[in-house]
Amino acid sequence: MAAVATTNEAEKAPGAQRVCLVKAWSEASRVAAGGFGAIKNSDSFNWGDAMANRTGEKIGWIGGWSGAFLWVVVLSIVFLFQRKNMAGCAGLGLATVAAVVVAIFAPWRHPRTPLWKLMLPLYAIVAACVVWAVLAFGVDALREEGVSVGSFALVGPLFLPLVTAGRQRWSDREP
């Protein structure tokens, strides 16, 4: 009788939480990769395939750059609610252009190009978005808030990926 463990006792066993997390992650990965129909084949997931496809790096590129432009979408919506339709629409346009450029300059589409070269157009769009925000708020409004040219020096760390990526290319890490 003691050899049969109940569900609660099995969950309390050492490492059981880790196994549950791995199973949950694999379920989420299948749903993301193949839609809800992929859940039916829950025993067929192969971590080796996911690593060979470099799915995590692809999610990181798309998710990271999407997050970098999320503020533009939010600020555009705020401008639209404030009836600053021109600024709001321009911001949504910039965010749309950014989404397209993120997809076009994805490193797996240009595996032999150094990453810093692929990031330059995206950083140019970030700079354009900053200029858009300054113009939309108005230079006088920024001066009233105490924003100076020196304040923009605080964005310096945003450019560190250009340095840390260096000459790395997508093809450098191919299996």
Please write the tens of the pLDDT for every residue from 68-108. Answer: 999 999 999 999 999 999 999 999 999 999 999 999 999 99
36 and 60 assigned to the same domain: no
Q: What's the confidence (pLDDT) of residue 3?
A: 47
Structurally, how many domains does the chain consist of? 2
Rounded to an integer, what distance in angstroms lies between the CA atom of residue 128 and that of residue 6? 60
12 and 69 assigned to the same domain: no
Cβ–Cβ under 8 Å, residues 119 and 161: yes
Per-residue pLDDT tens for 13-62?
555 444 544 554 555 555 555 544 444 444 555 555 655 688 888 999 99
23 and 71 assigned to the same domain: no
What range defines the domain where residue 158 resides?
Answer: 56-173
Q: ∠ CA 33-35-37 to the nearest 5 degrees?
A: 120
Rounded to an integer, what distance in angstroms lies between the CA atom of residue 28 and that of residue 147? 43
Question: Which of 127-131, 146-150, 155-159, 165-169: highest mean pLDDT?
Answer: 127-131
The model's pTM is 0.66
Does the pLDDT value for residue 123 go beyond 50? yes
93 and 40 assigned to the same domain: no
What torsion, rounded to 10 degrees, do the Cα atoms 159, 164, 169, 170 define? -80
Burial of residue 85 (CB within 10 Å: 0-12, 13-18, 19+) is exposed
67 and 132 assigned to the same domain: yes
In a domain, 51, yes or no: no
